[in-house]
Amino acid sequence: MRLLIIGTLNGQIGGASRMAVERGAKVTQVDDIEAGMQNLRSGNGADLLMVDVNLDVAELIGCLKKERITVPVVACGIGNDTQAAVRAIKAGAKEFIPLPPDTDLIAAVLAAVTEETHAIVYIDPRMGDVIKLADKVAPSDASILITGESGTGKELIAHYLHAQSKRAGARFVAVNCAAIPENLLESELFGYEKGAFTGAVSRRIGKFEEANGGSLLLDEISEMDPRLQAKLLRAVQEQEIDRIGGNKPIKINTRIFATSNRNLQDEVAKGTFREDLYYRLNVVNLELPPLRERPLDIAHLTQHFIVKYAEANGVAALPISAAASKMMDEYNWPGNIRELENTIHRAVLLSTGNEIEPSAIMLSGNSSMTTTTDRAQAQSAGGTDQSSGGVGSTVAEVERNLIINTLDHCLGNRTHAANILGISIRTLRNKLKLYNQQGFAVPTPGEADRPSA
């Protein structure tokens, strides 16, 4: 774990640093916000920032957002300075640690940040076969293409490959190609020199250099613009990059993992993905099965998430009733493990009896679930599957309902919804902008229920 301390922490920096080092953290200290930003821009990176509350925490968090640097911030200060603590939390700090530092509190904060969230939980043989193949290819330096539906755990497999590789002691850096606007992705990947463009006030190291010696995950690579794909091909093929505004190539030693929920061969045929890049990335393909094809894992993962979220919320880990378990087994899980996890999290919070009952099993903000059995019965009876939009609706209405319902199902997450729908994130944003203008309620990120307009 990499800890960056910004400020003097009122003379308590020695104690905080020592406690962190004793718990395995690599500690760097700088005196002010600008020095901290320079450290992050240089590619050193950090897993946690501890910031003196007397500094401008809001300015720091604003700088991090502007430069798209994602790292949790913890403010530290004299224990009775409650106003400063409140200001820091309102500015976006995750926690406030009073000084002088308490050993148990420092340990708890570091444990929360370094908690292992990349464990792969499974018992089904279908997933076991994938793990066996991953174990075989992990020690190599080959590029790996990880494919599968949204929510199947593609990023978890990338973390697993890195942890089992010769590069496990080096950095693992992830970039979501679908979440970063097209005009910013190039600078995010390759970095830039000071003055390369308006706003480039200093040199910024890109993700390729940040992951040098380690592994770089290019998540949802099918969303990358073809023009940028050509530059990526050179980086993968020649193991060298050019910063924007730079005048000489920079050698790198970075292993590439790439994920896609689409069939890249189809994208190649459509001309939206370069064939030569596809073959460079697809040295080995790990294809993750959807949850409906690994049925033994439904109950296994359900129990895992019950324990996890009961502990996280300070409630009892209730057993799941037979009726609720049957509903879980019969459901088709279009959102895969991500949907299952969200469902169980809600169920843990909503359950009030001695068991998790069917009434607590909610999907897409709905109190009822449509199972594969229900659909089959409706179709065999000559009925219409209303989830498809219904007879009598226009194509535009069906499309709008499908998009909004899918977004609702994904708790407002645009990237996940676009993946499930099989459209680009840009297309989805354009559709949602239109629906907003027409006065329809569009779910916002992080909302589990259908929001109001």
Res 119: pLDDT: 76
Indicate the helix (H) or strand (E) that contains 409.
helix 395-409
d(Cα 437, Cα 429) in Å, to the nearest integer?
Answer: 12
Over 60: is that where the pLDDT of 91 sits? yes
Show the tokens assigned to 112: 């929360």
The enclosing domain of 327 has a CATH number of: 1.10.8.60
Quick one: which of 432, 447, 261 has its CA closest to 364? 447
| DSSP single-letter state for residue 102 | P
**How confident is the model over 7-63, as pLDDT tens digits?**
886 667 667 777 777 766 788 889 899 999 988 888 777 888 989 888 899 999 988
Name the amino acid, one letter, at 314.
G
Tell me the CA end-to-end span of the chain in Å, nearest whole number: 42
- Tell me, yes or no, whether 70 and 151 share the same domain: no
The enclosing domain of 131 has a CATH number of: 3.40.50.300
Any domain includes 405:
no
Please give the average per-residue pLDDT across 247-264, as a whole number. Answer: 94
Over 80: is that where the pLDDT of 100 sits? no
Instruction: Kindly write down the DSSP assignment for every residue of 285-330, as one continuous string.
Output: EEEPPPGGG-THHHHHHHHHHHHHHHHHHT---PPBPHHHHHHHHH
Of these ranges, 158-162, 359-363, 432-436, 449-453, the one predicted with the greatest mean pLDDT is 158-162
Show the tokens assigned to 79: 């224990």
Phi/psi for 99 (5° steps) reads -110, 150
Res 370: pLDDT: 42
Per the structure, how many domains does the chain have? 3
Of these ranges, 50-64, 190-204, 272-286, 307-321, the one predicted with the greatest mean pLDDT is 272-286
Res 451: pLDDT: 36
Can you tell me which residue has the tokens 């949802």?
A: 220
- Tell me, yes or no, whether 303 and 279 share the same domain: no
**Per-residue pLDDT band at 409 (split at 50, 70, 90):** confident
Counting beta carbons within 10 angstroms of the beta carbon of residue 183, is it exposed (0 to 12), middle (13 to 18) or buried (19 or more)?
exposed
The enclosing domain of 68 has a CATH number of: 3.40.50.2300
Indicate the helix (H) or strand (E) that contains 99.
strand 95-99
Task: Compute the mean pLDDT over every residue in the chain, rounded to the nearest whole number.
Answer: 83
- Tell me, yes or no, whether 239 and 168 share the same domain: yes
Indicate the helix (H) or strand (E) that contains 145.
strand 144-147
CA distances from 121 to 271, 305, 360 (A): 37, 10, 23
Domain boundary among 270, 287, 304: 287
- Tell me, yes or no, whether 227 and 157 share the same domain: yes
Any domain includes 438:
no
Of these ranges, 60-69, 204-213, 355-364, the one predicted with the greatest mean pLDDT is 204-213
Residue that wins the pLDDT comparison between 262 and 9: 262
d(Cα 449, Cα 57) in Å, to the nearest integer?
Answer: 32
Strands in 144-147's sheet, in edge-to-edge order, are 172-176, 215-219, 255-260, 144-147, 284-287
**Per-residue pLDDT band at 398 (split at 50, 70, 90):** confident
Of these ranges, 19-28, 374-383, 432-441, the one predicted with the greatest mean pLDDT is 432-441
- Tell me, yes or no, whether 76 and 215 share the same domain: no
Over 50: is that where the pLDDT of 387 sits? no
d(Cα 399, Cα 12) in Å, to the nearest integer?
Answer: 58
Q: Domain range spanning residue 171?
A: 125-287
The rounded percent of the chain whose pLDDT value lies above 90 is 41
Phi/psi for 361 (5° steps) reads -90, 100
d(Cα 114, Cα 107) in Å, to the nearest integer?
Answer: 10
Res 364: pLDDT: 53
